[in-house]
Copies of this chain bind each other. A is one copy, B any other.
Amino acid sequence: MNFPLKQVHDETTRWNLASVVSALRDSRERAHRVRHMGHVRELPYREVIADVMQGLSAALFPTHYGRPDLNDENIDFFVGHTLADTLDKLADQVRRALLFSRSTELPHPEDLQEQAHRIVRALAEDLPTIRGLLYSDLQAAWQGDPAATGVSELLLCYPGITAVIHHRIAHALFKLGAPMVARLIADIAHARTGIDIHPGAQIGEGFFIDHGTGVVIGETCVIGRNVRLYQAVTLGAKRFPTDDNGHLIKGQPRHPIVEDDVVIYAGATVLGRITIGRGSTIGGNVWLTHSVPAGSNVTQALSQHS
């Protein structure tokens, strides 16, 4: 910190740029160990995927997420133009991400593009079905929250709705073979809502999360119809399965199954491949690591005061 005064006025070496740049290059090269040999791997781009989600949301709910002044004459032009633009962008991002989702040899560029087109075309075909699911989620939210005043309020103000829109699209892409883009979509929703749903999680119709901050739903969760969660609920893994050598086994079912019509209150922690039977209620802050039968009502009551 004994920095001589004259250096401040010597603009030619203000930040020692050349040496910092060189040290950072060394650090990169040490870390990567293997050079890319001149190949550039174009990465997917979080900002573009956020745009894609904006575009898909607008295509699904044009007046709420697109432009508030659409009318019967122009709405289909808007939807068609938005989709054309958005699907092209998404296909390019999926193509980039495909390079990262396989461990083995490098695929041929044209194959990647064809595969990306196939995935996005299948997603486009799914969109009306996804819209139907989201409509069931809106109905569930309307029935589940006494403070809600209408569908527009739900679409504009409820983080749980934002999260489920992102999840249903992320899950479709996950199943179609674009897991990295799906993960980016999930994390965009997480950053905006505090709700962290792995795109692998399977979730039935009529799903509603109220408040939502701190909710975590793991990759292999299976959630039935008309399930309602509150803030800070965890549906997690109890422990990670390992093989005989102690290495993590990836992809094994390790998160809960939640059957239809279950309600889980704020702060409850549900861990492991257990089953919450249909119609059960799990109370706030409950810690649950074993299955419960249909119609269970699990609570805790533990405060003392002096």
Residues of A that sit less than 8 Å from B by CB: 1, 3, 5, 7-18, 20-28, 31, 36, 38-46, 59-60, 62-64, 68-85, 87-88, 96, 100-101, 113-114, 117-118, 120-122, 124-125, 127-128, 131-132, 135, 146-147, 149-150, 152-153, 156-159, 179-180, 183-184, 186-187, 190-194, 196, 198, 200, 211, 213-214, 216, 219, 231-232, 234, 236, 240, 248-251, 266-267, 269, 271, 284-289, 292, 296-306
Contacts and interface: CB of A to CB of B under 8 A. Distances in A.
Nearest to A25: B76
B40 A70 contact: yes
Q: Which 7 A-B pairs have the closest CB atoms?
A: A77-B80, A74-B84, A81-B81, A298-B305, A23-B128, A43-B68, A11-B71
A186 to B, nearest CB: 7
Q: Assembly of this chain: how many copies?
A: 6
Contacts of A117: 3, 7-8, 14
Contacts of A249: 146
Nearest to A195: B213
A267 B287 CA distance: 11
